[in-house]
Amino acid sequence: MPISRHLVFLLKTLLVLGFIWLLVHELWTGNKWSVVWTAFQAHRTKVDFGWMGATLLLLPFNWLIETQKWRLLLRTFEPASWAQAWRGVLAGVSLAVFTPNRLGEFGGRVLFVDPKHRWRAVVANVVSIFSQTMVVLTAGTLGLLWFMLYLLKPGPFYVWALAMLTAVGLAALFFFYFNVRLLIPLLRRLPLLRKVRPLLRGVSVLERFRRRDLLQVLLWATLRYVIYSAQYFFLLQFFGIKTGFWGGLAGIFTLFLLQTGIPLPPAMGLVARGSLAVQVWAQFGANEVSSLAATFSLWIINLILPALVGTFFLLNVHTNKTFSHEKE
């Protein structure tokens, strides 16, 4: 009926406006915007704006790469167009900003997948997150070892012990990643999955991921990590934090590693992430304002701007189709 369609549209509009209000409110609370603006005013040379321009230029590539990674995972059970995958990724960003451990990302992405494949999409997104986490852990370990050797300078025993432990752990993660189908019997024994039968069927999608596909996904995850790290490095240069090339990369890799252990939504955990950044960049003589400004700017550019775009994609969700019962 037309009235019901209008009501649904009104509810979705209110939802989108609510998300936008939350994003803007989070931006203005805690003096995040004032910190960025104060530091921004001190850097207005052509060279400085070149660094900022390069950061903004990489923004679309960051999420285009994530879209391609998502398409590779989707094609094992539902071929998706660029537009469909793009809308799902950005809608997921909008919902993930306010949910811990990126849980909202699952909801945003499955909205743009055929309902009969929604649980397969959930499992596929777990693989996507796993691939990105592996890259963060690998690069972060290298960055942490650099910090230990050149700044903290502990005894050789501690460095070698950390190197050996992380090497074993990473080797195990890579083994399970490229042999993900070996996890299916174990997952099917979990009581939670046995109670949620659609999710239990969704786990079977792991059998469809070939090692070549998983390698491609991992390579795209690595490229996205490189771009994200480059953006942070450019922002460090813009705000006058002189770390040197290797020092800057080590600090960035270490920060990303430490941030993965913060079980808070990106918006709510930003203060904690800012505190970590202050501690890390203080090792290079950076002041608190510049360290916070670089961190907050990266958050605004790579999360807030895409999240604002993603909220409008939520308006185009076909409600009846999305929430229809799964048919298999």
Per-residue pLDDT tens digits for 52-66: 899 999 999 999 999
Considering only 86-100, 104-118, 255-269, which range has the smallest mean pLDDT?
Answer: 255-269
**Contact indicator for 310, 108 with CB cutoff of 8 Å:** yes
Average pLDDT over residues 37-42: 62
Structure confidence at residue 267 (pLDDT) = 56
Of 54-58, 157-161, 291-295, 320-324, the range with the highest mean pLDDT is: 54-58
Taking the C-alpha atoms of residue 256 and residue 328, their distance in angstroms, rounded to an integer, is 40
Q: How many angstroms separate the CA atoms of 157 and 76, rounded?
A: 46
**216/141 Cα distance (integer angstroms):** 22
CB atoms within 10 A of CB 50: 13
The pLDDT of residue 1 is: 41
Mean pLDDT of 207-235: 94
The residue among 6 and 217 whose pLDDT is bigger is 217
**pTM listed for this prediction:** 0.84
Q: What is the mean pLDDT of residues 124-153?
A: 89
Helices 245-259 + 270-282 axis angle, to 10:
150
Residue 283 — very low, low, confident or very high, per pLDDT cuts 50/70/90? confident
Query: Within 10 A of 23 (CB to CB), how many other CB atoms are there?
Result: 21
Average pLDDT over residues 201-221: 88
Q: Is the pLDDT of residue 319 over 60?
A: no
294 CB-side CA count, 13 A = 33
Instruction: Report the mean per-residue pLDDT for the chain.
Output: 80
Which pLDDT value is given to residue 328? 46
DSSP structure class, residue 43: -
